[in-house]
Amino acid sequence: MFEPWLKRWALVPDGEPIITPGSRLLPVRMGEVPAMLKVAMDAEEKFGNLLMTWWDGEGAAQVFAHHGDGLLMERAMGRRSLMNMALNGQDDEASQIMCAAVARLHAPRLSPLPPLVPLAQWFTSLHLAAAQHGGLYSLSLATAEALLASPQDVVVLHGDIHHDNILDFGPRGWLVIDPKRVIGERGFDYANLLCNPELPTATDPLRFARQIKVVAKAAGLERRRLLQWVLAFAGLSAAWFLEDDASLAAEGQLQVAKLAASMLEA
């Protein structure tokens, strides 16, 4: 699996492989430099590799080399974890760090854009879920359609911002990994971080209300529009979980959607 790239870039394995649904990763050393070798296994990961290259280390991990399905990038060596911070009394700080990292990604670039997908295309699954189940799915869809019809601040999005996709790179600070290829309103990325299904406290009403305030301020977003994006994204995320037969995870995302809807009604 990794041998062609190990040979091409004169790399030495430096840890156990990491297997994800869309890629295979291997900690390596490039001389004395710790790095991460990523081999994309599907089209989305391949396009994500192009986006990492396009960011050129500004807000994202620095890419050292890219060839075919292989990507060689700097490895996060810091010990801090945003998930640990969020669960251990530093939730506000974790959200502020994520907002700052996202803002760096959204900054204009002079380079020609890589291949991207319009954000509206991502909502196909929500259309299907709304037709089949109605309820919060339909409300999320209506909200999404209104947002997509009048986009504001269109940027190249990360598409999958959450606590474990922004890592501690020591002196280089907090940088992102594992992007998708999508372009749309910047509020989508900030809504994503509020819906993280891996965060046990994501559905806590008091925590949710607090983080809406924190994120809106840190990101410079209007509170109501951020809530609308959370409602839209939470419904979409739930629809994706339904497609994966993960009904419990879908229900968790619908709880987030309900929190956003309730705050919008207040």
pLDDT confidence of residue 124: 96
pLDDT confidence of residue 1: 85
- Sequence-distant (6+) residues with CB within 8 A of 264 are 224, 227, 228, 231
Residues of the chain with pLDDT under 50: none
pLDDT tens for 232-254 read: 999 999 999 999 999 999 999 99
For the chain, state the CA radius of gyration: 19
What are 126's two structure tokens? Answer: 């929500």
pLDDT confidence of residue 266: 79
Residues annotated as catalytic (active site), given as ranges: 160
Please choose, from the candidates 229, 263, 222, the residue with its C-alpha nearest in 3D space to the C-alpha of residue 143.
Answer: 229
pLDDT confidence of residue 160: 94
pLDDT confidence of residue 261: 98
Q: How many whole angstroms separate alpha carbon 79 and alpha carbon 98?
A: 16
Long-range own/partner contacts, residues 2-6 (CB < 8 A, 24 or more apart): 2/26, 2/37, 2/39, 4/70, 5/37, 5/39, 5/67, 5/70, 5/72, 6/37
